[in-house]
Structure 1
Amino acid sequence: MSTAPRRILTLLVTALVLVATFGNAATAEPTPGADEDGGQNLTVRQALDKATAEYNDAKGRLDKSMADQASIGEQMTKTQARLTELQAGAGTIAAAAYRGRRVSLVNVIVGAENADDMMHNMVTVQYMLQQDDKQLRELAATQQQLQQQQQDIANAVANQQAQLKIMETNKKAAEDALRKAGGGADAGGGAPSGGKVTTNGVARNSDGSLPKEGCTLDDPTTSGCISPRTLNVYNEARRAGFTHYTSCHRNGGGGDHPLGKACDFSANATTFVNARATGADKTYGDSLAAWAIANAKNLGIKYVIWYKRIWQPSSGWKSYGGDGTPAGDHYNHVHISVQ
């Protein structure tokens, strides 16, 4: 082969390689990898997860305590009203005793004209004394009940104050972790909001916190496993109309994906596109993020990451320190972490 044809062939091969390389750069299907969390080191990521989970549990306990307080308050109103009635009745009994009513009752029995009248009078007197005794016992029990309710209210208030301190401590810890990872600045302007609540609350412990869960269920998006609450988030999102390509469990790396407690919801309908979401895809991601925030309490969501922002229950939207790639900066997918 002459020099000229060989040179032309070389140029054609080079051109084909370039086309393939740059074409794939725009249409590749990169699954967000182990480093998608913006290169955060494991310690920082663990600190963020721990702080957010503890904040959520404290908030759940606070909400439960406040609901208990409201219920006890309603009961106290009824108890106080009944106590007022019983105290008035007790006053009548005391006044009658002072006037010698009990002595006069004995006289009624003694003064009976015949045995039948005496038996009838004795039964009547016994009934009246039992009623007085019953009313006095109820008065004592109601007073004790009111005292217990007052103590329960005081305990609820003390618990609420303790939970508020825990929440404030973990809010600061989460924000510190974000700053160490290169983010943490206020980023609420223009961030997704206004999502519709479409879910019911997940099961909670008796104190309002969320039960611990493991990676125990089959992941419908991969061959891995996910937790029950993560599966619930996936299913509820689809019921709400968010049916684009999704991937949850993956092996390797830190964060919640290997634990089965996170899902990546692609902005694109069929794959993860290696580029920033725009147009309808961007609108879809905004709507999904807003929905996740609106339902975060019901679903047990720890945080949402989208378009180089992170939302947490404690602080709202903050800037997110990514790695400069569409996946690492979360420009092409919405990440939802579940407690």
Structure 2
Amino acid sequence: MLTAPRRLLTLAVTALLLVATFGNPATAEPTPGANEDGGQNLTVRQALDKATAAYNDAKGRLDKSVADQASIGDQMATTQTRLTELQASAGTIAATAYRGRRVSLLTVMVGAENPDDMLHNMVTVEYMLQQEDKQLREVVATQKQLEQQRKDIDAAVANQQAQLKIMEANKKAAEDALRKAGGGADVSSGVPTGGKVTTNPVARNSDGSYPSEGCTINDPTTSGCISPRMLNAYNEARKAGFTHYTSCHRNGGGGDHPLGKACDFSANASTFVNARATGADKTYGDNLAAWAIANAKNLGVKYVIWYKRIWQPSSGWKSYGGDGTPAGDHYNHVHISMQ
């Protein structure tokens, strides 16, 4: 039988082991969002990811098409000016020929005083005919160019209308997914604002969409992998001064973490604190979320989750249905998902 001193010693050691094993509940390092990516919310999260990604690509195609339309419009103005000039010149040529003032081969032969003059005049006639033919051919080519530019404008407008329909459909799908997860309500006050653009645009496909990427680069925060755009966003956040503890790749579950397309940026400098961020930590999270939103288009951000709210390019800030924990409700970290 254990003596009283030994019993006390055993209890003390057991308590120390429990603390070492489970940590202080107020300062533990729970995996952020461990429940949000799996279980009954997995299908909802997948629907949200798919809809938001489709919206972003459609928006990229729309922006590219609008820029193309503006460029074609400028080209059309130049083409129309040139065509007007050519048509005026061609009209003068036709009028001259109609009035019989064009130098003809018969005029050259009759009016020449000697063979040398006749040869010179014949060369002159040939040159004039070539120049007139060249000018008339340029009129026809310029007319065709202008017509093609009009068709390109029509195609751009049709493309824009198609992309707008895709954007609207995926905006609705994303909002439906949020509502199914217990969120999606409009949020109008207290949201992070004022972020500054500090990044350059990432590479796009020729149509304006984002290239497909996989989990191909070593994750600097874990032993896993992340995508090139996620690594770029992580590095750009560091450059912008957001250097608190961060964790990106996570095995298992759903969502973007296993795909290497999401990072959790702790509000605390050194760990994930198992409590709501307050004071300086809350301010840090607000500033980081605002920065991610301001640079979303350049980086390829799909959505940002912070303090039980989610920001998407299609809808702005909405309420977010978490799991009731500081990590699951994103009270202790900013989640950034990438395209």
Superposition TM-score tier, normalisation by shorter sequence: over 0.9
1:181 aligned partner, one-letter code = A
- Structure 2 equivalent of residue 287 of structure 1: 287
Distance 1:181 1:39 in 2: 12
- CA apart distance, 1:54: 0.4
For the 8 Å contact 2:34–2:328, the answer to whether it is kept is no
- Structure 1 equivalent of residue 191 of structure 2: 191
- CA apart distance, 1:123: 1.4
- CA apart distance, 1:16: 5.4
Structure 1 residues 236 and 106: alpha-carbon distance in aligned structure 2, compared to 1, 3 A threshold: farther
Residue 258 of structure 1 aligns to a residue whose secondary structure is coil
For the 8 Å contact 2:184–2:319, the answer to whether it is kept is yes
1:330 aligned partner, one-letter code = H
For the 8 Å contact 2:213–2:227, the answer to whether it is kept is yes
Structure 1 residues 308 and 40: alpha-carbon distance in aligned structure 2, compared to 1, 3 A threshold: farther
Distance 1:254 1:216 in 2: 18
Structure 1 residues 109 and 290: alpha-carbon distance in aligned structure 2, compared to 1, 3 A threshold: farther
Distance 1:26 1:311 in 2: 28
- Structure 2 equivalent of residue 54 of structure 1: 54
- Structure 1 equivalent of residue 153 of structure 2: 153
- Structure 1 equivalent of residue 121 of structure 2: 121
Distance 1:116 1:123 in 2: 11
Matched, 1:27 2:37: no
- CA apart distance, 1:189: 1.3
Deviations 1:70-90 (A, max 9, x none): 000000000010011011011
Distance 1:292 1:202 in 2: 14
- CA apart distance, 1:216: 0.6
Distance 1:254 1:293 in 2: 23
TM-score, normalization by structure 1:
0.93
- Structure 2 equivalent of residue 303 of structure 1: 303
TM-score, normalization by structure 2:
0.93
Residue 101 of structure 1 aligns to a residue whose secondary structure is coil
For the 8 Å contact 1:39–1:323, the answer to whether it is kept is no
Distance 1:19 1:45 in 2: 35
- CA apart distance, 1:23: 7.0
Distance 2:236 2:15 in 1: 45
- Structure 2 equivalent of residue 81 of structure 1: 81
Q: Identity, % of aligned pairs? A: 83
- CA apart distance, 1:236: 0.7
- Structure 2 equivalent of residue 94 of structure 1: 94
- CA apart distance, 1:34: 2.9
Distance 1:229 1:319 in 2: 26
For the 8 Å contact 2:108–2:121, the answer to whether it is kept is yes
For the 8 Å contact 2:104–2:125, the answer to whether it is kept is no
- Structure 1 equivalent of residue 264 of structure 2: 264
Residue 238 of structure 1 aligns to a residue whose secondary structure is helix
CA-based RMSD: 2.5
Alignment of 1:241-256 (within 5 A): 241-256=241-256
Structure 1 residues 54 and 97: alpha-carbon distance in aligned structure 2, compared to 1, 3 A threshold: same
Structure 1 residues 135 and 14: alpha-carbon distance in aligned structure 2, compared to 1, 3 A threshold: same
2:314 aligned partner, one-letter code = S
Distance 1:313 1:121 in 2: 72
Structure 1: gaps (5+ residues): none
Deviations 1:214-270 (A, max 9, x none): 111111111111111111110111111111111110111100000000000011111
Matched, 1:221 2:221: yes
Residue 334 of structure 1 aligns to a residue whose secondary structure is strand
Distance 1:273 1:66 in 2: 46
For the 8 Å contact 1:38–1:323, the answer to whether it is kept is no
- CA apart distance, 1:33: 4.8
Distance 2:159 2:129 in 1: 45
Q: Which runs of 4+ in 1 moved over 3 A?
A: 12-23, 36-40, 102-106
- Structure 2 equivalent of residue 136 of structure 1: 136
- CA apart distance, 1:104: 4.4
For the 8 Å contact 1:38–1:329, the answer to whether it is kept is no
- CA apart distance, 1:32: 1.5
For the 8 Å contact 2:103–2:125, the answer to whether it is kept is no
- CA apart distance, 1:319: 0.3
Deviations 1:34-69 (A, max 9, x none): 314596522111110110000000000000000000
Distance 1:241 1:184 in 2: 31
